[in-house]
Amino acid sequence: MPRSQVGRDTDRVDGRLKVTGAAEYSGDYRAADLAHAHLVTSTIARGTITSIDPAAALASPGVLRVYAAPESRLALYEVTGQAAGFTENYLPLKSDVVRFHGQAVAMVVAETPEQARDAAALVTVTYDAQPPRTSIADEPHVPAGPTISGAPSSLEILAPGVGSIDAALAASDVVVEAEFHQNVQHHVGMEPHAILAVWDGDQVTIHAGAQIPGPYALAMAQRLGILPQSVRLITRYVGGGFGARVVLWSDTPLAAAAARELGRPVRLVLTREQMFTLTGHRSHLTQTVRLGASRQGVLNAVSHRSVAERPTTIAFTMTPAHSTSDALYRTPNLHVDAQVAVLDIPGSRAMRGPNEAPGAFALETAMDELAVATGVDPVTLRLRNQATAHPATGLPWSSKHLDECYRLGAERFGWAGRSATPRTRVDGQWLYGTGMATAIYPAHRRAGVVARVRLLDDDTAVVSTATSDLGTGSATMVAISGADALGIPVQRVTPEIGDTLLPPGAPAVGSSGTHATVPMVVDAARNVIAELKRLAVTADRSPWHGAAVEDLRYERGILHGLGHSLTFGRLLTTIGSPGIYKESAPGGQPVPGYVHHSFGAHFCEVRVNRFTGETRVTRFTTVADVGRVINAKAARSQLVGGVIFGIGHALLEENHLELDTGRLASSTLADYLVPVNADVPDIDVVMLDRPDPVLTGPLGDGSEDVGTGSLGARGLGEIGTVGSAAAIGNAVYNATGIRVRDVPITLDKLIDHL
């Protein structure tokens, strides 16, 4: 009898395909008569194109077309309605306006990628440039508008009799006020954006990495002026999303429109340099946190303001205080506010805990400053201010075990006995210090998710849903939850994802794929088992023909009853059916009366070189409260990866926007630094594995028919990256006595003070 694989270590179902190179990513697909595209990008940030001369490129070997702004022959159309939120607000190559440095201004299509690339270098463009708006400090600040979750960008809750947040702060015994800055950060997925577009009549098949296949294809259909059902998007293997593949950027429509115009399949692969301007980034950001507290560190007021950029091409709202400062600590007076400044900068978008990671860096650094100011231990301070109801709404959480994260983390890490006084642990050239911080991330509900379960006559099952696997392991999650629901081994379940021909799947966004998908798989499994029983009593050749459904019991892949036992495959074979399938009801509606978050606590040790200012992370412990864990191995990888993002955020990652040109200064992985193995210590990750009793989806009645073990999961994709940068910065302070509020904490910010 197979044990359920839920919560155990399961190898990736596609692991072997990936490590042997057999898995086909978007750019690996082939097509007969394939043509290759290469983009030419703008070298000004704001202004107009005055001329584009394609002659030299057209005369270059193998060149088929040069599509140049403003009057390219490409047919592209506005995207309206809901789909507009998934794309940009301008038509590429259809106007002479330049909106950011690195925008596509022409596209060359040739017989080979090399011919296209070389010819692209021969396209000459002249501009009428205007000075770009590049400074969020200098441009006017306006309210950011509603957050992703629809909450207002500004919120103020005051205790009775308190006139303003400033008054609440002024009345507090201890006040901490701190301003934080961070530069542009990039997703830098390993796989460059690559598109293959193949037309068949008025139907187009697109291979591209997409985090939200359904809306992506819908936006694509509108861009191309065709019906939604005329677009099939295949996104089976994806080399990293991190937010960069949420939006339909200019690349995919350009490739598809060129393929239509040319009458040949077209492949477009962005260069690494183009990835830095054409596929989004995290906005640079200024944040101000003010905390008012008693001498014992009990919060009386929390104020968190942010100013982010608003590119002209995309209306993404950066709201770092939302779901960090409005959710984390109990306080009678609360104020969060998000402002933006319009800039001529490439489109920014969600990136790796988009709001929560920078928001928690600011809040959790300020909390450490409050710990220093009050002399209260940082863990004690947080336990003292734990919220039992969501501060912004007053609602209870569906499940919250944050206190256990603190206690277990402190114990595993060896927090007790830490010296709160900086520079007390010295080993030769190295100053040692420890720090901690809290993690919080919303468990977004996703409506309209459908799974399909198919039982086959060879005793295997196929579970299908159009979600995508960005490298996170979602295909394996689908297989595990299907196996659990059917009571059969994972090896007998084939997951089918990443194709818009499948039932609408969960978006691989906002750490929501697993908890949006699993209950739907369970529901579909239940439906198909009911169908199996119905067939068993109605099919002529079935041993149960004429019996009642109530006489049958399904257990672990086998139907029992009235002295017979048959596997589902055997029954299907007996009655002459190759397979049966059922879908789930569309699920994922919010559960009223609750808020849902995942939580965690990070503990970190760093050493800082006294002479060079070099900071190394030496130890890291993260304890996460993420509900039911589906695949412990993949979950651990997600959390470790999140902490590594935190190392990047704290110590390495930034891009400078040149103020006079509007150019992002870094465009290679030699100068945009991300952590490499040598930067990453062994990261100790623990998951509490406490199933969320509310997030159980439509089922969870413990019936004999389906496994109930796969319910109660919450998201964990981004929780590792929220707060981890603050834990590192707090450890740097403990090591050196230097508080750096401007990440990344590079040596130049430390060395003069050491």
Beta carbon nearer to ligand MOS, 5 or 182: 182
How are beta strands 47-53 and 597-609 bridged, if at all?
Answer: unpaired
In sequence order, the 6+-apart residues with CB closer than 8 A to the CB of 397 are 390, 594, 595, 596, 597
On the question of a cis peptide bond just before residue 744, with omega within 30 degrees of 0, the verdict is yes
Shortest separation between residue 398's beta carbon and ligand MOS, angstroms: 20
Question: What gap in Å lies between CA 367 and CA 296, rounded to an integer?
Answer: 13
Question: In the beta sheet, which residues pair with residue 607?
Answer: 432, 616
Beta carbon nearer to ligand MOS, 715 or 744: 715
Beta carbon nearer to ligand MOS, 352 or 533: 352
Shortest separation between residue 352's beta carbon and ligand MOS, angstroms: 5
Beta carbon nearer to ligand MOS, 183 or 734: 183
DSSP state of 664: B
Beta carbon nearer to ligand MOS, 442 or 613: 442
Shortest separation between residue 222's beta carbon and ligand MOS, angstroms: 22
Q: Is residue 354 close enough to count as binding ligand MOS by CB under 6 A?
A: yes
Shortest separation between residue 356's beta carbon and ligand MOS, angstroms: 10
The end-to-end CA distance of the chain, in Å, is 63
Q: Binding segment for ligand MOS among 40-48, 345-353, 378-386, 742-750 (CB under 6 A)?
A: 345-353
How far is residue 56 from each of residues 118, 126, 187, 378, measured CA to CA in Å? Answer: 11, 15, 35, 65
Question: What gap in Å lies between CA 445 and CA 436, rounded to an integer?
Answer: 29
Question: What gap in Å lies between CA 645 and CA 630, rounded to an integer?
Answer: 23
Of 241, 320, 409, 662, which lies in the binding site for ligand MOS, with binding defined by CB under 6 A? 241
Beta carbon nearer to ligand MOS, 258 or 318: 318
Contact 317, 285 (CB under 8 A): no
Beta carbon nearer to ligand MOS, 354 or 378: 354
Q: Is residue 318 close enough to count as binding ligand MOS by CB under 6 A?
A: no
Beta carbon nearer to ligand MOS, 133 or 352: 352
Q: Which residue is catalytic, options 88, 356, 653, 718? A: 718
Of 136, 157, 327, 509, which lies in the binding site for ligand MOS, with binding defined by CB under 6 A? 509
Q: Which two tokens stand for residue 49?
A: 């194109």
Question: What gap in Å lies between CA 521 and CA 503, rounded to an integer?
Answer: 11
Of 211, 331, 474, 514, which lies in the binding site for ligand MOS, with binding defined by CB under 6 A? 211
Q: Binding segment for ligand MOS among 240-248, 289-297, 519-527, 541-549 (CB under 6 A)?
A: 240-248
Question: What gap in Å lies between CA 305 and CA 292, rounded to an integer?
Answer: 15
Alpha helices (H) in 580-661, listed in sequence order? 632-647
How far is residue 595 from each of residues 70, 388, 399, 713, measured CA to CA in Å? Answer: 48, 11, 9, 14
Shortest separation between residue 350's beta carbon and ligand MOS, angstroms: 4
Q: Binding segment for ligand MOS among 83-91, 241-249, 294-302, 746-754 (CB under 6 A)?
A: 241-249
Widest CA span in the chain:
87
Shortest separation between residue 722's beta carbon and ligand MOS, angstroms: 11
In sequence order, the 6+-apart residues with CB closer than 8 A to the CB of 631 are 5, 7, 8, 9, 10, 473, 476, 477, 480
Q: Is residue 695 close enough to count as binding ligand MOS by CB under 6 A?
A: no
Shortest separation between residue 130's beta carbon and ligand MOS, angstroms: 32
Nearest to 581 by CA among 521, 639, 633: 521
Beta carbon nearer to ligand MOS, 528 or 643: 643
Q: Binding segment for ligand MOS among 239-247, 405-413, 681-689, 728-736 (CB under 6 A)?
A: 239-247
How are beta strands 597-609 and 615-625 bridged, if at all?
Answer: antiparallel
Shortest separation between residue 510's beta carbon and ligand MOS, angstroms: 4
Q: Binding segment for ligand MOS among 259-267, 350-358, 485-493, 620-628 (CB under 6 A)?
A: 350-358
Question: What gap in Å lies between CA 234 and CA 247, rounded to an integer?
Answer: 15
Nearest to 594 by CA among 719, 696, 708, 711: 696
Q: Is residue 350 close enough to count as binding ligand MOS by CB under 6 A?
A: yes
Beta carbon nearer to ligand MOS, 182 or 333: 182
Burial status of residue 218 (CB atoms within 10 A of its CB: 0-12, 13-18, 19 or more): buried
Q: Footprint of ligand MOS on residues 510-549 (CB under 6 A)?
A: 510
Shortest separation between residue 471's beta carbon and ligand MOS, angstroms: 12
Question: What gap in Å lies between CA 132 and CA 342, rounded to an integer?
Answer: 10
Q: Which two tokens stand for residue 254?
A: 């350009």
Beta carbon nearer to ligand MOS, 358 or 709: 358
Q: Which two tokens stand for residue 682?
A: 């062994």
Element (H, E) at 64: strand 63-68
DSSP state of 656: P
61-75 exposure pattern, b = at least 16 Cβ within 10 A, e = fewer: ebbbbbbbbeebebe
Q: Is residue 360 close enough to count as binding ligand MOS by CB under 6 A?
A: no
Shortest separation between residue 354's beta carbon and ligand MOS, angstroms: 5
Please count the residues of this chain forming the interface with ligand MOS, following the rule CB under 6 A: 11
Contact 6, 628 (CB under 8 A): yes
Of 210, 220, 234, 246, which lies in the binding site for ligand MOS, with binding defined by CB under 6 A? 246
Beta carbon nearer to ligand MOS, 510 or 648: 510
Of 351, 363, 439, 604, which lies in the binding site for ligand MOS, with binding defined by CB under 6 A? 351
Of 352, 400, 452, 596, which lies in the binding site for ligand MOS, with binding defined by CB under 6 A? 352
Beta carbon nearer to ligand MOS, 54 or 239: 239
Q: Based on the residue annotation, tell me whether 718 is a catalytic residue of this protein.
A: yes
Question: What gap in Å lies between CA 640 and CA 716, rounded to an integer?
Answer: 11
Element (H, E) at 50: strand 47-53
Q: Binding segment for ligand MOS among 133-141, 176-184, 348-356, 680-688 (CB under 6 A)?
A: 348-356
Q: Binding segment for ligand MOS among 238-246, 432-440, 515-523, 669-677 (CB under 6 A)?
A: 238-246
Burial status of residue 742 (CB atoms within 10 A of its CB: 0-12, 13-18, 19 or more): middle
Shortest separation between residue 653's beta carbon and ligand MOS, angstroms: 14
Of 215, 239, 243, 346, which lies in the binding site for ligand MOS, with binding defined by CB under 6 A? 243
Q: Binding segment for ligand MOS among 55-63, 344-352, 373-381, 450-458 (CB under 6 A)?
A: 344-352
Question: What gap in Å lies between CA 615 and CA 305, rounded to an integer?
Answer: 29
Q: Is residue 186 close enough to count as binding ligand MOS by CB under 6 A?
A: no
Shortest separation between residue 242's beta carbon and ligand MOS, angstroms: 6
Q: Binding segment for ligand MOS among 11-19, 346-354, 491-499, 744-752 (CB under 6 A)?
A: 346-354
On the question of a cis peptide bond just before residue 70, with omega within 30 degrees of 0, the verdict is yes
Element (H, E) at 474: helix 474-486
Report the number of secondary-structure helices (H) and strands (E) in the chain: 16, 29
Question: What gap in Å lies between CA 665 and CA 506, rounded to an integer?
Answer: 36
Which residues are identified as catalytic? Answer: 718
Binding stretches for ligand MOS (CB under 6 A): 211, 241-243, 246, 350-352, 354, 509-510
